[in-house]
Amino acid sequence: MKPFHVVICGRPNVGKSSLFNAVLRRRVAIVDPTAGVTRDRVEARVERPAGAFYLMDTGGIGQFDNALLKDEIERQIQYALDGADLIVLVVDAGDGCLPTDAEIARRLRQLDKPVVLVANKCDGVQQERATSEFMRLGFGDPIAVSARERYGVEELVETIFDHIPTDDEPEADPIDPDDPNRPIRVAIVGKVNSGKSTLMNLLVGSERVIVSPMAGTTRDSIDAPFDWHGRKFVAVDTAGIRKHRAVDGTPDFYSQGRAEESIRRSDVVLFLIDATREISQIDKGIARTIADSARPVVMCITKWDLAQQAGKTPDEYEPYVHQQLHALAFAPVCFMSALTRFNVDAALKTAIDLYVQSSYRVGTGELNRVIEQSESRQVPRVGRGKFPKMYYATQTGVRPPTFVVFVNEGKLFGDEYARYMSNRMRQCFPFGEVPLRVFFKERRRTEKGKPNRRSP
């Protein structure tokens, strides 16, 4: 069954992004009183007991926070409207029916698609009664909604389901975490103007996000599915990460937080590093964020065509990257150019390899043999009278591979020894290029105060 797509549109500051989040029951789109915050198309799956559909937020029609992006934002809106099965036109009950609303309504009628009219910001009886004036737009009586208070939101959802064909079975959730063949979620991250949106559009095969030389064009985190050689992916384009002091007090502050959240919810990170610029403190900060999240990462050296023209070579540049970004010393490096399509396939193949590595489970017996060998090679350095002892270990999770080692006293095993154990497991098991998590946990003692040494 073809997924059912619903597009929210309207003039700026009528509460489109707030309504989008209210229907989803979580914060996805950035909400800010500044006009023109939403620029790209932001899409997410909505699920209810009755079924599921895809909901898309769009930029405000007719007003733009930057005139240089006007044509690009309008094109994104038109792409969304052309692909919609149902359009939700949002108006502001407090402002009343404005000429801009009437102009948008005329534009939607030319599309010959079903339209649901929503009067947002209905926070009182008086405003709800005033919604009758919007009937002149030609889409019937509007649904009175307050996205902020979640009033009327479920009535809107029920109306959307009334428009969805019921002949076929509901579409299955494409992101089932227990399905080994589920789409691989790939987060595309990097500092501003590193080529993230260019790569995103290349992967999905369309102008999914705005590409502009202006820094900070992308604000929301944009999810888009695509196929590569029969393997399904979900690409997540994120806002370019900048210094925190440069974004404090602006809508980009929320963008940066969403970018960091996208790293944490990804399966693999494509970390774009601009080969034409020196590795900066921002790049190092992104590397630390990725390392802290324990996500597999491909270090994608972008604009390599330009770097080659400047005389750079992989043999010289790769050691430089690992030296500067030592927190990701285990991560593979891929030299590429999204503009010329050079080595993009290699980056995706590497992402699949990392996904497979991070999904691997080690047999308990094999794991404990490595634990015993590792302890005999190196024991933690502790003070006089302390005798650290590891009893056995078990793998408790994948993506990232997570291990718990049961010991006699947890405080005797610090971060340095956890790094040692991680490196040992990378050497002995197929985890060579992915991060691991190793935790030390004290075994419960018997009533006599001695450790219960149960064999693994």
9-29 pLDDT per residue, tens: 998 889 888 899 899 887 765
Q: Would residue 173 count as lying in a domain? A: no
**Final residue in a domain of this structure, among 317, 339, 356:** 356
Q: Are residues 155 and 251 in the same domain?
A: no
Q: Are residues 261 and 377 in the same domain?
A: no
**Final residue in a domain of this structure, among 293, 325, 356:** 356
**Domain carrying residue 404:** 364-442
Q: Determine if the peptide bond prior to 165 is cis (ω within 30°).
A: no
Q: Are residues 382 and 249 in the same domain?
A: no
Provide the CATH number for the domain around residue 93: 3.40.50.300
d(CA 100, CA 63): 10
Q: Are residues 266 and 283 in the same domain?
A: yes
Q: Would residue 169 count as lying in a domain? A: no
Q: Would residue 59 count as lying in a domain? A: yes
**Final residue in a domain of this structure, among 314, 336, 356:** 356
pLDDT at 421 over 90: yes
Q: Are residues 12 and 154 in the same domain?
A: yes
Q: Are residues 264 and 401 in the same domain?
A: no
Q: Are residues 9 and 148 in the same domain?
A: yes
Q: Are residues 261 and 405 in the same domain?
A: no
Average pLDDT of the chain to the nearest whole number: 81
Q: Are residues 125 and 152 in the same domain?
A: yes
Q: Are residues 302 and 332 in the same domain?
A: yes
- Phi/psi for 446 (5° steps) reads -80, 175
Q: Would residue 168 count as lying in a domain? A: no
Separation in Å, CA 374 to CA 205, 380, 418? 48, 11, 11
Q: What is the dihedral of CA 131, 137, 141, 144, to 10 degrees?
A: -40
Q: Are residues 370 and 315 in the same domain?
A: no
Q: What is the dihedral of CA 60, 61, 65, 71, to 10 degrees?
A: 130
Q: Would residue 50 count as lying in a domain? A: yes
Question: Would you tell me how many other CB atoms lie within 10 Å of the CB of residue 384?
Answer: 4
Kindly indicate the confidence band of residue 412, based on its pLDDT and cuts at 50, 70 and 90. Answer: confident
Q: Would residue 175 count as lying in a domain? A: no
Q: What is the pLDDT of residue 449?
A: 47
DSSP, residue by residue, 86-119: EEEEEEETTT-S-HHHHHHHHHHHTTT--EEEEE
Each residue's pLDDT tens digit, 25-55:
877 654 434 444 444 567 788 888 888 998 9
Please tell me the total count of domains within the chain.
3
SS3 10: coil
Q: Is 279 exposed, middle or buried (0-12, 13-18, 19+ CB in 10 A)?
A: middle
Q: What is the pLDDT of residue 361?
A: 94
CA nearest to 146, candidates 117, 116, 124, 162: 124
Q: Are residues 119 and 257 in the same domain?
A: no
Q: Would residue 111 count as lying in a domain? A: yes
Q: Report the run of H or E that residue 8 belongs to, with start and end.
A: strand 5-9
Each residue's pLDDT tens digit, 220-268:
456 778 888 888 898 887 765 645 454 444 444 444 666 777 888 889 9
Q: Would residue 179 count as lying in a domain? A: no
Written as six digits, the tokens of 407 are 């010991």
Q: What is the pLDDT of residue 388?
A: 87
Provide the CATH number for the domain around residue 409: 3.30.300.20
